[in-house]
Structure 1
Amino acid sequence: MDKQFCIFDMDGTLVDSMPIWKSLGKDYLKARGHSPTPDQLAALGPMTMLEGATFLMETFGIEGPPEHIIEEMHAVMEAHYRTDIPLKAGVQDYLVQLKQQGAKLCVATATAEPLARACLERLGVAHYFDFILSCEAVGKGKTQPDVYLEAARRMGSAPGDTAVFEDALYAAQTAKEAGFYTVGVPEASYEQDWPALAALADETIMDWRKAL
């Protein structure tokens, strides 16, 4: 595929933030005296921040409203996005190559757009993307294809002509089922899902530095 239209996930795909996201819900609950089970933590994984905040209220009785919980979590993540979350090795060179080939690039992320932008601007790569689209902006997480379809619409492309780069199996499945060309990217936090993701994807990138 010539990859003239590309949709990139951010966390775990472009930047190495998944360890912090993986521990955020657990740390937030433990600080409030709760001990979540692995299943409860796993349920949080595919959710948007709003869905996750509602889940915490309903499951653990955390005091709302959801927007207050989101603000508290945003404050924790914003500090990391603005200071210490790194770009994955080789990503910038890969983006440069795509732009030199005239490709349109965007980010579709479950992370709130202001946080995503703050991170990518600090890392010096935000300008490679035509726009950043958050799942919160479309109102649905990546278990549904809305964010990918809206991103393609904004770029003026059809799903079959658009590459979606994802590290999460459930997200790649959603994109694949919606007709997108899927590119699997390994992420240590999802190591157990890699065989299935590699089998599902139209293409895999094991190392951005070797993908040029």
Structure 2
Amino acid sequence: MKQFQAAIFDLDGTLIDSLHVWEKLDEEFLNKRGFAVPEGYCEKIATMGFLDAAQYAKQIFGFPEPAEEIVREWNQMAAYAYGNEVKMKPHAREYLQKLQRDGIILGVATALPKRLYTPVLENNGIFSWFQAITSGDEVSRGKGFPDIYLKTAEKLGVSPKDCVVFEDILPGLQGAIAAGMQTVGVYDACSGGSEEEMRRLSDAYIYDFKELL
């Protein structure tokens, strides 16, 4: 990769190891309604904000309740886990510390709403490390588009060409590339099926942050 001034990180599946939380949430939510989790469902909704994901779930499963009600239930189920249980991925903390020592500005671009990203960052003691955090509900389009990355770069005061984005999902990489940024693909079991294409598109691809230390 070329030199960069700012590093922008996704949270779920990239910096934090939250796969088990959403697998459990999706399974409990759908099982309670008599459905199993379909193949590819996790990866599909990972690209969306909560409201879009709820609307997608309504479309797929025909749930009668409003999307907003589904979002409230998801938030209630996830809030405790994000504030108490979800930890960072191996060596992610050490890599963030290395970037700070190197004078790199840190940002977050996440589909998570503030009520979830704040407790998980605070619980892991890294909230203050980021100069800008952008949530999916601050932009009109999801992670397959450049909007969230461009907004984060704007908040950081750094040109898109001087940013590198770390993402575990293919649409995230595609959106960051469309924003004119360098990209690092990060392996996560939820999006492992896209690894070949992610490797092809990204400037680098890692299984573990220790590869960058």
TM over 0.5: yes
Separation in 1 of the partners of 2:106 and 2:29? 34
Separation in 2 of the partners of 1:22 and 1:46? 15
Q: Identity of paired residues, percent?
A: 34
Separation in 1 of the partners of 2:160 and 2:175? 12
Q: Which residue of the partner structure matches residue 76 of structure 1?
A: 77
For residue 89 of structure 1, give the secondary structure of its aligned residue in structure 2: coil
Within the alignment, does 1:30 sit opposite 2:67 as a pair?
no
Q: Using the TM superposition, name which of 102-111 and 56-65 deviates more.
A: 56-65
Cα drift, residue 177 of structure 1: 2.5
Cα drift, residue 41 of structure 1: 5.7
Distance verdict in 2 for CA 1:42–1:188, change over 3 Å: closer
**Per-residue Cα deviation, 1:46-75 (whole angstroms, up to 9, x for no partner):** 221101112233333323332221111011
CA contact (8 A) 1:113 1:132 kept: no
Name the aligned partner's letter for residue 66 of structure 2: P
Q: Which residue of the partner structure matches residue 132 of structure 2?
A: 131
Separation in 2 of the partners of 1:197 and 1:176? 11
CA contact (8 A) 1:117 1:132 kept: no
Name the aligned partner's letter for residue 56 of structure 1: A
Separation in 1 of the partners of 2:205 and 2:60? 37
Distance verdict in 2 for CA 1:40–1:203, change over 3 Å: closer
Unmatched 5+ stretches in structure 2 = none
Number of aligned positions between the proteins: 212
Separation in 2 of the partners of 1:35 and 1:115? 25
CA contact (8 A) 1:9 1:108 kept: yes
For residue 149 of structure 1, give the secondary structure of its aligned residue in structure 2: helix
Distance verdict in 2 for CA 1:199–1:76, change over 3 Å: same
Instruction: Give the superposed CA RMSD.
Output: 1.9
Cα drift, residue 35 of structure 1: 4.1
